[in-house]
Amino acid sequence: MFNKMRNFLFVTLAVIVTVISMANLQPVTLKILFFSFEIPLIILFYLLLIIGFSAGYLVKGIVDYRKNKIE
């Protein structure tokens, strides 16, 4: 039951991300300190999505490590 629900949520999230990203193909200017880059919004969207998932995974790992260390 849990695996079916997890698979459904994963597929739903993938479809939502794909639809939103395909609707945002125009180029945007990204300014970081003294540099500016012009990249498609879809690439920026996926880059931020990967950074967000990675940060969440890292924080979960740190919390689990500290929880296991205390016990």
pLDDT, mean of residues 60-65: 88
Axis-axis angle for helices 2-22, 41-70 (nearest 10): 150
pLDDT digits over 11-46, tens only? Answer: 998 898 788 878 878 888 989 899 998 988 888 888
Predicted confidence at residue 71, as pLDDT, reads 65
CB-based contacts of 36, cutoff 8 Å, min separation 6: 29, 30
Q: Dihedrals φ, ψ of 4, to 5°?
A: -65, -40
Q: List, in order, residues 6 or more apart from 17 with CB less than 8 Å away.
A: 49
pLDDT at residue 59 is higher than 90: yes
pLDDT of residue 51: 95
